Amino acid sequence: MDPFDWGVIARSMDFLAAGMALSALLVVVATLGGVVGGAGLAALRRSPRRFLSAPAAGYVGVMRSVPLVLVLFWFYFLVPLAIGRPIGALTSALVAFVLFEAAFYCEIIRAGIANVRRGQSQAAAATGLRPWQALRLVILPQALRAMVPVLLNQIIIVFQDTSLVYVVALRDFMTSASVIASRDGRPIEMYTLVAVVYFAICFVGSYALQRRRKLNYR
Amino acid sequence: MILLEDVHKSYGRTPVLRGCSTNIDAGEVVVVCGPSGSGKSTLIKCINGLEPFDRGRIFVGGTSVGDRATDLPALRARVGMVFQHFELYPHMTALENVSLAQIHVRRRRRAEADRRSEELLVRVGLADKLRSRPAELSGGQQQRVSIARALAMDPEAMLFDEPTSALDPEMVTEVLEVMQALAQDGMTMMVTHEMGFAQRVADRVLFMDHGEILEDTDKAHFFAAPVTERARQFLSKVLRH
């Protein structure tokens, strides 16, 4: 008798797909929100005014020093206490992911900005662009382009980190698979599937980006 | 047009400008020369406020550059600048490079800005390069785009910081020709480091050394009979070849 029962995958497809949909939602929201928030934080951190740069630096320092699991947990339990009503697991997880990722994207973007030639901001300034215009129109587009590999890396990390939402009773792809694994006693089949899917998505993603980069300028 | 009064500047304890004064009239073409490290680039970057200065005053068309109340971005929009390393925006086409500040500073509509950019790029001889990115252009072509970018703001004066120093010799001429045409159109120009341009086009030459303007005379006098010993030495080195 075949010791493996791969049919378990087909039978639980809907359940797994729902998990994947949640993972995808978390990745997309965390990445978009994180990049926007991170760009804002990076702009604040670069400010010569300490009352702007110091709080941003403090925020980034704190967020990068605590595990994501704790941020998720705090948000779920403490924010309802603070505002007096429950906010729901999904909302709290999305907000927590964005706030957490923003701190990392801030540092990634700062490093990217530091890599753009200094003359570029001088040239932008010389045509009369204001500092925030120069940042938005000239510096950030170049910084983001140089950051593509690091950003991709961060997206993969987020994708893998989405499994942490189990602490607030949400089921991402990984959690869904492990629920089936223990319900049906099929851990090998389910975890093999998880590994293959994670690998396929991350590999295809990085391959596609590499191709795109080759087609790009420089 | 451009007035400098006793401009001083130091990096830490190292003085780079030690009391520079001069006056450039509208339509005048002035070349600033001198050995490297003499303060030419710093001086020219003080004029549009890219470099802050410690003491003295600079006026551009009546606006005081060092005044805290002066809106520097607005002032810079009135003064074109061309850099040694071109500093075109690599993620944009030549046309987009020239249009950017027109759209975001002058508030021109994109179509209007692009029309003006095209006109200027044609004028600097790049009619067939509108959609090219900087990486696809030669150094001389990039520098001509950057001149067009500065001209697109309809500047009152143009500053050139070593505009040909990063170019291969065969490309220097194409850039100088564009600059010469500008000078003939009556543009007020200040150019550092370009001796060929000084000889052919300049009205006046400033000679700098160790942060001081040692000579400030018309071109003929400067090349024929420099007053200071250091200027004589400099000329004999530069003009030997």
Reduced to 3 states, what is the DSSP secondary structure of residue B126?
Answer: coil
Q: Is the pLDDT of residue A208 over 80?
A: no
What's the CA gap between A192 and A209, in Å, rounded? 26
Identify whether the C-beta of residue B154 lies closer than 8 Å to the C-beta of residue B102: no
What is the pLDDT confidence band of residue A99, given thresholds at 50, 70 and 90? very high
Q: What is the mean pLDDT of residues B218-230?
A: 91
pLDDT at B241: 55
Q: Is the pLDDT of residue A215 over 70?
A: no
**Per-residue pLDDT tens over the stretch B93-137:** 999 999 999 999 999 999 999 999 999 999 999 999 999 999 999
The encoded tokens of residue A6 equal 């791969």
- Tell me the β-bridge partners of B24: B2
Identify whether the C-beta of residue A215 lies closer than 8 Å to the C-beta of residue A58: no
The encoded tokens of residue B5 equal 């009064």
ipTM of this model? 0.92
pLDDT at A2: 66
Average pLDDT of chain A?
88
Interface of A with B in 112-171 (CB under 8 A): 117, 119-120, 122-130, 133, 137-138, 141-142, 145
Domains in chain A: boundaries: 7-217
Q: Distance from first CA to last CA of chain A, Å, rounded? A: 58
Query: CA separation (Å) from A160 to A68, A155, A156?
Result: 12, 9, 6
User: For residue B81, what is the nearest residue in chain A, using CA coordinates?
Assistant: A126
User: Is the C-alpha dihedral spanning A144, A145, A151, A156 positive or negative?
Assistant: positive
What's the CA gap between B164 and B6, in Å, rounded? 29
What backbone phi and psi angles, to 5 degrees, belong to B215?
-135, 140
Query: CA separation (Å) from B76 to A124, B29, B80?
Result: 10, 19, 7
Question: Percentage of chain A with pLDDT > 70?
Answer: 96
Q: Is the pLDDT of residue A101 over 70?
A: yes
Question: Percentage of chain B with pLDDT > 70?
Answer: 99
Query: Which residue type, as a one-letter code, is found at position A163?
Result: S
Residues of A in contact with B87 (CB under 8 A): 117, 119-120, 122-123
Per-residue b or e along A6-16, where b marks 16 or more CB atoms closer than 10 Å to that residue's CB? eebbeebeeeb
Cβ distance A127 to B149 less than 8 Å, yes or no, reads yes
Cβ distance A129 to B73 less than 8 Å, yes or no, reads yes
pLDDT at A214: 61
Least CB–CB distance from B89: residue in A128, A133, A138 = A138
What is the pLDDT confidence band of residue A3, given thresholds at 50, 70 and 90? confident
What's the CA gap between A191 and A174, in Å, rounded? 8
Q: Is A213 on the interface with B (CB under 8 A)?
A: no
Give the residue carrying structure tokens 């005044």.
B67
Question: Percentage of chain B with pLDDT > 90?
Answer: 88
What is the pLDDT confidence band of residue A156, given thresholds at 50, 70 and 90? confident
Identify whether the C-beta of residue A56 lies closer than 8 Å to the C-beta of residue A105: no
**Per-residue pLDDT tens over the stretch A123-151:** 999 999 999 899 999 998 998 888 888 88
Reduced to 3 states, what is the DSSP secondary structure of residue B58?
Answer: strand
Q: What is the mean pLDDT of residues B47-75?
A: 94
Strand arrangement of the beta sheet that strand B79-82 belongs to: B79-82, B157-160, B188-192, B29-33, B204-209, B212-218
Residues of B in contact with A138 (CB under 8 A): 89, 100
Q: What angle do CA A31, A37, A38 make, to 5 degrees?
A: 80
Average pLDDT of chain B?
94
What's the CA gap between A160 and A152, in Å, rounded? 12
What is the pLDDT confidence band of residue A83, given thresholds at 50, 70 and 90? confident
Query: Which residue type, as a one-letter code, is found at position B108?
Result: R
Q: Which of B179, B126, B131, B192 is nearest to B151 (CA)?
A: B179
pLDDT at A218: 44
Count CB-CB contacts under 10 A for residue B11. Answer: 9
Cβ distance A127 to B83 less than 8 Å, yes or no, reads no
**Per-residue pLDDT tens over the stretch B187-204:** 999 999 888 899 989 999
Residue B131: is it exposed, middle or buried by C-beta count within 10 angstroms (0-12/13-18/19+)?
Answer: exposed
Residues of B in contact with A120 (CB under 8 A): 87, 89
Q: A152: Cβ–Cβ under 8 A, 6 or more apart, which residues? A: A205, A206, A209
H helix or E strand, kind and range, residue A165: none
Quote the DSSP letter at residue A139: I
Higher local confidence (pLDDT), B172 or A9 = B172
A7-217 to CATH, choices 3.40.980.10, 2.102.10.10, 1.10.3720.10, 3.40.630.10: 1.10.3720.10
What's the CA gap between B76 and A124, in Å, rounded? 10
**Per-residue pLDDT tens over the stretch A174-186:** 999 999 999 988 8
Reduced to 3 states, what is the DSSP secondary structure of residue B61?
Answer: coil
Identify whether the C-beta of residue A158 lies closer than 8 Å to the C-beta of residue A97: yes
Q: Is the pLDDT of residue A217 over 80?
A: no
**Per-residue pLDDT tens over the stretch B27-40:** 999 999 999 889 99
What's the CA gap between B84 and A151, in Å, rounded? 33
